[in-house]
Amino acid sequence: MLFLGIGILLLALKYLEFGVVATWSWWWVLSPFGMAFLWWTWADWSGYTKRKAVERDDARKQARIDKQRENLGLVIKKKKR
């Protein structure tokens, strides 16, 4: 998302001819979109996206379990070592 945000910002600055970006080549202005594409391709290929989704789901599941245990009065206090 960072590359996409930077790309949109640079595109707006180039279109509005604002600052030093107005003198840049279109290749430099559009390069963050290419980098975002490469990042998303790598993330999907390597399993990074799926792994993060599973971690997020597991954290929500554990929070739900902990809340139910607390509501039932089954909270076990951990000893400090």
pLDDT at 58: 96
Domain of residue 6: give its range.
Answer: 2-72
- Whether the per-residue pLDDT at 28 is higher than 70: the answer is yes
| Domains of the chain: total | 1
In a domain, 46, yes or no: yes
Tell me, yes or no, whether 8 lies in a domain: yes
Reported as a single tens digit per residue, the pLDDT across 33-77 is 999 999 999 999 999 989 999 999 999 999 999 999 888 888 776
Give the pair of three-digit tokens for residue 51: 């792994």
Is 79 among the domain residues?
no
Does some domain include residue 80? no
Cα–Cα distance between 19 and 49 in angstroms, integer?
36
Name the CA dihedral angle for 8, 36, 43, 63, rounded to a multiple of 10 degrees: -20
Residue 77 maps to a domain: no
